[in-house]
Amino acid sequence: MTTPPSTSLPASRLSVFRVLLLPGWLDSDAAHWQSRWERLHGDHRVTQDDWQWPKRGDWMARLEDVLLQDDTPAVLVAHSLGCQLVAAWAAHSRHTARVAAALLVAPPDVEREDMPPQLAPWRPIVRARLPFPSTAVVSRDDPYCAPERAAEMAVQWGCELVSVGDRGHLNGESGLGDWPEGRALLDALLART
């Protein structure tokens, strides 16, 4: 497990990629760092037809469609259920070469008994190793995933694991603002590609 980096690559390095934001269940609200990144950096949000009752196959198909629209290498920046989307899509797609890297933030443990019934289609968790460089960013007090389970998923997916301490679900309620530390983690990940 590593700690977050404090430096950032030049913007030109990131500009050669298409940054696709993959929100979790119910989408990311205006205070969420993903929404802020969309406004600040021009990242592209992958929208889903049904945020309330997410179906794994439908979400995978939508991600595939977006990736096939442009030949520019993509970087996936996922939050919560979006992390499970990356794992499920990568295990089934023939187009994983279109993805240069993935930043997976706050992956939820959808196999827990107390998860909402809307997330049942996401069981079991896809545990295959990701075919591209990836970093999993976790919080020690995430209400949707115990640190041990987050670490287990990161190992199975082949991710570098970064703990950011006690920051909740790393969402709009976590007080991250524009989350420059997250952008630095993205830059560090891209430096490995």
pLDDT at residue 15, rounded to an integer:
81
Sheet (strand 44-45) strand order: 44-45, 18-22, 74-79, 99-105, 134-138, 160-163
Query: What's the average model confidence in pLDDT over 61-89?
Result: 98
Residue 116 token pair: 């909402």
Q: What span, in angstroms and rounded, lies between the C-alpha atoms of 186 and 155?
A: 19
If you average pLDDT over every residue of the chain, what do you get? 94
Place 2 in a pLDDT band, splitting at 50, 70 and 90: low
SS3 call for 159: coil
SS3 call for 162: strand
pLDDT at residue 13, rounded to an integer:
67
Residue 6 has pLDDT above 50, yes or no: no
Q: What span, in angstroms and rounded, lies between the C-alpha atoms of 128 and 126?
A: 6
- Give the pLDDT confidence of 145-172 residue by residue, as tens digits: 999 999 999 999 999 999 999 999 999 9
Single-letter amino acid, residue 99:
V
Place 12 in a pLDDT band, splitting at 50, 70 and 90: very low
pLDDT at residue 50, rounded to an integer:
97
Residue 191 token pair: 């430096």
- Give the pLDDT confidence of 131-150 residue by residue, as tens digits: 999 999 999 999 999 999 99
Place of tokens 């993935």: 102
pLDDT at residue 41, rounded to an integer:
96
Cis amide linkage into residue 54, ω under 30° from 0: no
Is 103:137 a contact under the CB 8 Å cutoff?
yes
Domains by residue range for the chain, with CATH: 11-191 (3.40.50.1820)
- Give the pLDDT confidence of 178-192 residue by residue, as tens digits: 999 999 999 999 998
Asked which of 5-19, 47-61, 87-101 is least confident by mean pLDDT, the reply is: 5-19
Query: What's the average model confidence in pLDDT over 92-105?
Result: 98
CB burial string 37-62: b at 16+ within 10 A, e below: bbeeeebebbebeebeebebeebbeb
Percentage of residues in the chain having pLDDT higher than 90: 91
pLDDT at residue 1, rounded to an integer:
59
The DSSP-derived string for 38-77 is: HHHH--EE---S-SSS--HHHHHHHHHHHHHT--S-EEEE
